[in-house]
Amino acid sequence: MDNIHKKIKNLRLEREMTLKDLSDSTGLSVSFLSQIERGTSSLAITSLKKISDAFQINITYFFNDIENHNYVVRKEEMKDFKLEGSDKVYIRLAGKFPERKMEPIMVTIPAKAPYVERYSHPGEEFYYVIEGSVVFRIEGQEYLLTPGDSIHFPSEQMHEWKNPTNQEAVLLSVLTPVIF
């Protein structure tokens, strides 16, 4: 329970919300929310539910066992997933512990995958090509990467990627902020 106030503040900052924004979403006063984030006020479960609803997360997020650090992710525990509307396959590589700042992911891009979406968001992105080839377009400039190449850039820059070859591409990716 001691870290709930930190989790609330971190979520608010990650989502680029002001205390006023959170107040408007929850009906709780700005001064009360400020006290909560500083850990100087206790928090009723009903208020925590309003906050979790404002962040569109399950209230159980705040009760995860903080002391149960899981630094290692074994190969057999890794599960691949796809984002809706995407043909890329992702495997989350991160351990679990409070206030994690990086999101390491293995990404597989199918052969002949075209540019699909352009992205721009807060944070940084790093990619290392393990297999195949990938073209990154960042602010209109194209970069062809082959095995052993890497690229690192601020995510605020408009970016997209494609695999123009007949072979799937596999990349190690490290992103900030944490997204999964």
What's the pTM value of the predicted model, to 2 decimals?
0.63
d(CA 9, CA 13): 6
d(CA 39, CA 4): 8
- The rounded average pLDDT for each run of 10 residues, N- to C-terminus, in the chain (180 residues) is 80 92 94 90 84 86 65 87 82 83 93 88 94 97 98 95 96 86
pLDDT at 2: 58
Query: What number of other Cβ atoms are within 10 A of residue 79's Cβ?
Result: 8
Tokens of 27: 């009906």
pLDDT at 180: 64
Tokens of 43: 């928090």
Residues 6+ apart with CB under 8 A from 144: 133, 134, 135
DSSP string, 63-86: GS-TT--B----GGG--EE--TT-
pLDDT at 1: 45
Query: Edge to edge, what strands does the sheet with 134-138 contain?
Result: 141-145, 134-138, 159-162
Q: Is residue 15 classed exposed, middle or buried when 0-12, 13-18 and 19+ CB atoms within 10 A define those classes?
A: middle
From the list 104, 66, 105, the residue with the least C-alpha distance to 88 is 105
Instruction: Quote the radius of gyration of the chain (alpha carbons, Å).
Output: 19
